[in-house]
């Protein structure tokens, strides 16, 4: 019998290892688990703030309501949940739990881990002071912050976990301070230069760093600084000279760990370290017979290893040693030993790469050292590489801001005695400074190369797993589950994916590039099939393409991709002939959906040039429709806050002033930015404004795999930032230099020079070909930069840019005629999409707010608008898990006992095919879906429960594994149309039966008052909790709770609809108490 005390990550790993070895079932395993749920991934603890789902952290499978998972029963493991081991008797060989249960053991494994170290600072026991270790700690922080309206927090400790905690505090809306005693952050991993780069990144995110801080006390709200007062924390006091108190309402202590060895302190047979920890040898054995220790409680060579990777190595060593002693085949010729661990780490801290490896901070007496430093404070990149004195061996390094080549450098430095074959200085510049797009780093082909440091999984082990699974069953999820690679911190997932692709190819298979479950093709492959079809009329609709090349109903992935292909090949109005069902969130409404379901209006402003009358028209439209106005970063004006039914009227007003659609909502050319050029600027050498207008007028409306941006600069001073665009032109004395393949955003890429000193007509010719080549061959949602980087190299080398020159200038592929013809077709068939709508009554109908009535519900009735500097904007959404998010009906069958009737909500012709349409029933908004693809109709609430936004009717319908579904247009939450259950989640929407009687569409509904009580717009209006209700009709939370209680009570008494309505009215008007 093997008893494991502690069911953390390392204890769990030991049990998995010993059970894998024990194929004959010789041993029984029991584990004490102090926490209320089984093992979970503490490395990813911070992600709990995003998901609020413990199962997302589980080490095995989803937790049930008791905190257990199926793995323990499936493997015959006795899980003593919520039972802390309190005593061990090495003479009688028993372990006793807090419950009083005593279990005998043949082998005991101490995996008790560690507890957070809290410095002896007066006031550390105050309310509002937390440690950062368990899910319960995080839950406590969230509750305290909410209950006490906390606005600011301090994190004591600037190590890895402290920085994670500080980011988590910021993510829940708190002003976040990092308090570090040492002069630098992460002092064990990085030096002062790395610290400076990291602090720059952190402070750019709004967090505040205080290093060298000597915290004297946690000050209470009553001003006390002692340890006796129980007043909540209100400030930090420092002993630093001239430092003021720091006002904070919550403190998170993350000052390191101390090994949990208290279980062994009562048994003298187990040796403990002078400063704590259970002393172990190289086989993880303690001084007591048949007792082992692993993980953060184990003291090896007078050192506690606080990382998960060494803990997993300990678990592996101990499992094989225990197996051997129990007569189980350990599967090795020689039992392994633990002789220490590589402490190299690569982390993503607050979005910033931080890595250290090998000898990263040499001792002062280490003379065999040569250092090379790269310090780029503008980009926030710092790198120090440490070589031997001769400069022919890499010993270690520190990387901050760009660690994308970590694996290569780590391999050169750690466990490698070979001399360098290249100039050491060539290793120093970060990949982001070499002018190339960052692609996935080539993964080592060495079978012994470690890929997953958390679980010590090699390339060879992953390859073996793939071969065992076979071509048909090897996918990323299965490979991760079976090999354990990528299941720790997740940092190696891209490497695992690369290996999977390479190994499948070697087996005669391939990693699927299928667009989705409905098409067994990538976007370029499907585009090729459509554009080369000899009968274009056989592929001129989604239904025809699906019938010819796919199956099922389609989904929110393939429909927009096919819709884009149709626009790129045929170019008809995107909302005609059922094509509106293919358009994603923004394209369907031809406007960008914003928070709360309102929309923004962005007219085209070629070259940034505006007439005074056009400026006036924009202002008049903003005033007339109460829109929030803002200048965009691309020389346009954005008007926010329009309701969908207002859009045609707004655009008609703007159209009279000469404005056209700006396609800000589409995967298309957005804008061509320009400086004033030679028309005004004394430095300009070309008329950049006129050329920008020419370029924008040519490519406006051209749809592409992703958005495109452009710019024209009138001289080499580059004021329009053309080299950061998908295509950009910089004026010279002789014409223009043409740059392609740049972009800003998360991973900025510098555009590459395609041609120099060419005239405007040549620029247009080359752009026609470049853009169309991109349209025909790029993957879905792929910007020009990554597409360009994946192109083959030119015939004479030179990389993808040489290939483009050969294709575009030399016609090396023989496709220039096709590229020219297809682009000219798009130019010739251009139409202002909004003019097509507001000039056509039938198209305008698609923008009615409700199919069954001309009544409109004002946007202010759905989300509160608040004043900001004289303009109105919607109130902030609450964080997930807070009130007004993740809405639930009082129960799943709320209307089960209600009297219902069939209500006619419109004619079949009122409801477009394969889309949702909103209807109004009393104060309730419902969504009716005409799934023509299946010949089925559905009706659901229109409010997405995630953020209480009335938008589901605008979602794209399709199927997943033959289940009809709708995808919320805001955050792509998918709901089954039949029963309303979220696919892959816990949310649920209410559904109602639909039938067709002749031409009438009828929905079976309870009385208006009953439906309004649950789904009425007023009751679900999103409001800012600390703001005044500006319209005076939102149901406040206490009334909403009273209403729910009243509904439950009335249902229980079987009230009639009339009585129900009367009673509900009384509750709403506060004429009666909740109890009555």
H helices of 980-1056, in order, are 1008-1015, 1017-1020, 1037-1052
824 pLDDT tier (thresholds 50, 70, 90): very high
Residues 720, 712: contact at Cβ < 8 Å? yes
Q: Residue 277 and residue 783: Cα distance in Å, rounded?
A: 53
DSSP for residue 798: S
Cα 270 to Cα 30, 109, 110, 300: the distances in Å are: 21, 12, 11, 14
Residue 504 confidence (pLDDT):
85
The candidate with the shortest Cα–Cα distance to 575, out of 564, 587, 586, is 587
Strand partners, 703: 668
Encode pLDDT of 644-676 as tens digits.
Answer: 999 999 999 999 999 999 999 999 999 999 999
Q: Give 71's contacts (C-beta < 8 A, 6+ positions apart).
A: 38, 60, 61, 77
Residue 104 confidence (pLDDT):
97
The candidate with the shortest Cα–Cα distance to 112, out of 300, 251, 277, 290, is 277
Residue 981 confidence (pLDDT):
93
Residue 161: helix, strand or coil by DSSP?
helix
Residue 379 confidence (pLDDT):
79
Encode pLDDT of 117-133 as tens digits.
Answer: 999 999 999 999 999 99
Residue 450 confidence (pLDDT):
79
Per-residue pLDDT, averaged over 919-923, amounts to 96
Encode pLDDT of 578-612 as tens digits.
Answer: 999 999 889 999 999 998 889 999 999 998 899 99
At 1052, list the tokens: 């229980």
Residue 1044 confidence (pLDDT):
53
Per-residue pLDDT, averaged over 787-814, amounts to 89
Per-residue pLDDT, averaged over 552-572, amounts to 93
Residue 747: helix, strand or coil by DSSP?
coil
Of 386-395, 400-409, 963-972, 1065-1074, the one with minimum mean pLDDT is 1065-1074
Indicate the helix (H) or strand (E) that contains 136: helix 135-147
The owner of tokens 């997405």 is 944
1027 pLDDT tier (thresholds 50, 70, 90): very low
At 944, list the tokens: 């997405």
Output b/e per residue, 277-288; b: 16+ Cβ within 10 A: bbbbeebbbbbb
Residue 464 has pLDDT above 50, yes or no: yes
Burial degree of 508 (CB within 10 A; 0-12, 13-18, 19+): exposed
889 pLDDT tier (thresholds 50, 70, 90): confident
Cα 1024 to Cα 49, 871, 884: the distances in Å are: 21, 17, 10
Residues 145, 172: contact at Cβ < 8 Å? yes
What φ, ψ does residue 1068 adopt, rounded to 5°? Answer: -60, -40
- Cα–Cα–Cα angle for 782, 784, 786, nearest 5°? 65
Residues 409, 422: contact at Cβ < 8 Å? no
Average per-residue pLDDT for the chain: 89
Residue 1075 confidence (pLDDT):
46
Of 108-112, 443-447, 491-495, 1054-1058, the one with minimum mean pLDDT is 1054-1058
Q: Residue 862 and residue 1020: Cα distance in Å, rounded?
A: 7
Encode pLDDT of 946-959 as tens digits.
Answer: 999 999 999 999 99
Encode pLDDT of 315-350 as tens digits.
Answer: 999 999 999 999 999 989 999 999 988 888 887 776
Cα 736 to Cα 671, 728, 774, 788: the distances in Å are: 19, 10, 22, 21
Residues 647, 589: contact at Cβ < 8 Å? yes
Encode pLDDT of 838-848 as tens digits.
Answer: 999 999 999 99
Residue 484 has pLDDT above 50, yes or no: yes
Residue 82 has pLDDT above 70, yes or no: yes
Residue 1050 confidence (pLDDT):
54
Residue ranges of E strands in 875-981: 900-907, 916-921, 924-931, 936-941, 943-944, 949-950, 956-960, 963-967, 974-976
Phi-psi region of 526 (alpha: psi -120 to 50; beta: other; left: phi over 0): alpha
- Cα–Cα–Cα angle for 69, 71, 73, nearest 5°? 90
Residue 436 confidence (pLDDT):
44
Encode pLDDT of 268-291 as tens digits.
Answer: 999 999 999 999 999 999 999 999
Residue 1017 confidence (pLDDT):
93
Residue 254: helix, strand or coil by DSSP?
coil
Q: Residue 968 and residue 573: Cα distance in Å, rounded?
A: 24
Residue 778 confidence (pLDDT):
94
Burial degree of 995 (CB within 10 A; 0-12, 13-18, 19+): exposed
Q: Residue 165 and residue 154: Cα distance in Å, rounded?
A: 9
1054 pLDDT tier (thresholds 50, 70, 90): low
1038 pLDDT tier (thresholds 50, 70, 90): very low
Residues 167, 161: contact at Cβ < 8 Å? no
167 pLDDT tier (thresholds 50, 70, 90): confident
Residue 714 confidence (pLDDT):
96
Residue 746 confidence (pLDDT):
58
Residue 1029 has pLDDT above 50, yes or no: no
Distance linking the first and last C-alpha atoms of the chain: 61
Per-residue pLDDT, averaged over 431-445, amounts to 58
Per-residue pLDDT, averaged over 1018-1036, amounts to 59
Residue 439 confidence (pLDDT):
43
Q: Residue 585 and residue 560: Cα distance in Å, rounded?
A: 10
Angle between helices 558-569 and 523-531 (to 10 degrees): 40
Residue 440 has pLDDT above 50, yes or no: no
Per-residue pLDDT, averaged over 68-93, amounts to 95
772 pLDDT tier (thresholds 50, 70, 90): very high
**How many residues are listed for the chain in this entry?**
1076
Residue 217: helix, strand or coil by DSSP?
strand
Encode pLDDT of 500-542 as tens digits.
Answer: 888 888 887 777 778 888 998 989 999 999 999 999 999 999 9
Residue 1061 confidence (pLDDT):
54
Do the bridges between strand 250-253 and strand 152-156 make them parallel or antiparallel, or are there none, so unpaired? Answer: parallel
Encode pLDDT of 404-435 as tens digits.
Answer: 788 889 888 987 778 887 788 888 988 766 54
What φ, ψ does residue 823 adopt, rounded to 5°? Answer: -65, -40
More confident residue, 395 or 45: 395
Residue 489 confidence (pLDDT):
63
Cα four-point dihedral sign 376, 377, 378, 381: positive
Cα 435 to Cα 432, 753, 796: the distances in Å are: 6, 11, 20
């Amino acid at each position: 019998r093997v008893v494991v005390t502690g069911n953390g990550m390392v204890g769990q790993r030991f049990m998995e290892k010993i059970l894998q070895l024990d194929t004959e079932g010789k041993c029984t395993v029991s584990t004490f688990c102090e926490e209320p749920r089984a093992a979970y991934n503490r490395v990813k603890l911070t992600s709990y703030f995003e998901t609020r789902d413990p199962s997302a952290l589980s080490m095995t499978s989803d937790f049930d309501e008791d905190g257990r998972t199926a793995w323990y029963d499936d493997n015959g493991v006795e899980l003593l949940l919520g039972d802390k081991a309190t005593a061990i008797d090495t003479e009688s060989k028993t372990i006793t739990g807090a419950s009083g249960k005593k279990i005998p053991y043949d082998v005991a494994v101490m995996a008790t881990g560690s507890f957070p170290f809290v410095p002896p600072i007066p006031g550390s026991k105050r309310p509002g002071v937390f440690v950062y270790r368990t899910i319960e700690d995080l839950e406590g922080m969230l509750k305290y912050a909410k209950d006490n309206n906390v606005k600011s927090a301090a994190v004591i400790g600037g190590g890895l976990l402290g920085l994670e905690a500080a980011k988590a505090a910021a993510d829940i809306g708190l002003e976040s301070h990092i308090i570090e005693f040492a002069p630098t952050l992460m002092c064990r991993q990085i030096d002062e230069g790395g610290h400076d780069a990291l602090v720059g990144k952190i402070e750019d995110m709004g967090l505040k760093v205080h290093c060298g801080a000597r915290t004297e006390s946690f000050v209470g709200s009553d001003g006390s600084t002692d340890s006796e007062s129980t007043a909540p924390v209100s400030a930090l006091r420092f002993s630093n000279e001239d430092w003021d108190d720091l006002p904070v309402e919550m403190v998170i202590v993350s000052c390191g760990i101390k090994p949990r060895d208290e279980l062994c302190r009562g048994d003298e047979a187990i040796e403990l370290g002078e400063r704590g920890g259970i002393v172990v040898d190289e086989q993880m054995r303690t001084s007591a017979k048949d007792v082992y220790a692993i993980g953060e409680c184990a003291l090896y060579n007078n050192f506690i290893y606080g990382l998960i990777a060494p803990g997993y190595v300990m678990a592996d060593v101990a499992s094989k040693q225990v197996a051997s002693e129990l007569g189980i085949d350990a599967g090795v010729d020689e039992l392994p030993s633990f002789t220490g661990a590589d402490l190299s780490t690569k982390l993503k801290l607050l979005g910033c790469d931080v890595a250290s490896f090998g000898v990263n901070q040499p001792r002062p007496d280490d003379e065999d050292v040569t250092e090379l430093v790269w310090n780029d404070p503008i980009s926030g990149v710092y790198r120090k590489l440490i070589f031997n004195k001769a400069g022919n061996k890499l010993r270690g390094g520190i990387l901050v801001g760009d660690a994308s080549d970590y694996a290569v450098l780590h391999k050169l430095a750690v466990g490698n005695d070979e001399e360098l074959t290249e100039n050491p200085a060539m290793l120093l510049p970060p990949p982001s400074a070499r002018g190339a797009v960052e692609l996935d780093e080539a993964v080592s082909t060495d079978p012994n190369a470690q890929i997953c440091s958390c679980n010590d999984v090699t390339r060879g082990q992953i390859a073996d797993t793939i071969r065992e699974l076979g071509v048909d069953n090897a996918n990323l999820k299965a490979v991760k589950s079976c090999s354990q690679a990528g299941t720790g911190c997740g940092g190696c997932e891209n490497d695992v994916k690369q290996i999977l692709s390479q190994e499948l190819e070697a087996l005669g298979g391939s990693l699927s590039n299928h667009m989705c479950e409905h098409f067994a093709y990538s976007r370029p492959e499907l585009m090729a099939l459509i554009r080369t079809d000899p009968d274009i009329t056989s592929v001129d609709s989604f239904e025809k393409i699906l019938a010819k090349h796919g199956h099922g109903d389609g989904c929110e992935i393939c429909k927009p991709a096919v819709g884009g292909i149709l626009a790129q090949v045929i170019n008809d109005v995107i909302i005609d002939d059922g094509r509106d069902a293919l358009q994603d969130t923004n394209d369907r409404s031809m406007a960008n959906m914003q928070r709360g379901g309102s929309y923004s209006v962005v007219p085209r402003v070629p070259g940034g040039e505006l007439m005074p009358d056009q400026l006036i028209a924009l202002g008049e439209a903003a005033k007339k429709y109460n829109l929030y106005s803002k200048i965009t970063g691309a020389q346009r004006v954005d008007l926010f806050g329009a309701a969908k039914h207002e859009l045609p009227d707004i655009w008609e007003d703007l159209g009279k002033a000469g404005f056209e659609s700006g396609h800000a909502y589409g995967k298309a050319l957005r804008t061509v930015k320009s400086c004033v050029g030679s028309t005004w600027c004394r430095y300009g050498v070309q008329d950049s404004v006129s050329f920008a207008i020419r370029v924008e007028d040519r490519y406006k409306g051209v749809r592409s795999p992703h958005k495109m941006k452009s710019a024209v600069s009138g001289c080499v001073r580059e004021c329009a930032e053309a080299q950061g665009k998908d295509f950009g032109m910089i004026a010279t004395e002789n014409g223009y230099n043409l740059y392609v393949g740049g972009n800003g955003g998360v991973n900025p890429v510098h555009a590459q020079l395609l041609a120099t000193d060419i005239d405007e007509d040549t620029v247009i010719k080359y752009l026609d070909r470049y853009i169309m080549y991109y349209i025909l061959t790029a993957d879905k949602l792929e910007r020009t930069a990554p597409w360009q980087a994946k192109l083959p190299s030119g015939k004479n080398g030179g990389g993808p840019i040489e290939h483009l020159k050969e294709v575009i200038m030399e016609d090396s592929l023989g496709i220039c005629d096709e590229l020219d013809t297809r682009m000219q077709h798009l130019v010739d068939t251009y139409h202002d999409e909004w003019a097509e709508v507001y000039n056509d009554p039938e198209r305008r109908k698609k923008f009615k707010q409700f199919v069954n009535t001309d009544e409109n519900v004002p946007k202010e009735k759905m989300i509160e608008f608040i004043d900001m500097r004289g303009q109105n904007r919607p109130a902030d959404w609450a964080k997930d898990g807070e009130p007004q998010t993740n809405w639930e009906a009082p129960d799943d069958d709320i209307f089960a006992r209600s009297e219902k009737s069939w209500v006619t909500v419109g004619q079949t012709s009122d409801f477009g095919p394969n889309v949702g349409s909103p209807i109004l029933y009393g104060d309730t908004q419902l969504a009716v879906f005409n799934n023509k693809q299946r010949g089925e109709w559905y009706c659901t609430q229109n409010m997405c429960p995630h953020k209480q936004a009335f938008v589901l009717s605008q979602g794209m319908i399709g199927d997943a594994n033959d289940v009809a579904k709708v995808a919320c247009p805001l955050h792509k939450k998918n709901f089954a149309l039949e029963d309303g259950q979220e696919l892959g989640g816990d949310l649920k929407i209410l559904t109602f039966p639909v039938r067709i009687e002749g031409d009438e569409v009828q929905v079976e509904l309870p009385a208006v008052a009953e439906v309004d009580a649950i789904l009425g717009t007023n009751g679900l209006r999103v409001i800012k909790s600390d703001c005044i209700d500006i319209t005076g009709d939102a149901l406040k939370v206490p009334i909403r709770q009273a209403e729910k209680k009243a509904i439950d009570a009335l249902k229980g008494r079987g009230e009639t609809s009339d009585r129900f309505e009367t009673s509900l009215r009384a509750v709403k008007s506060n004429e009666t108490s909740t109890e009555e």
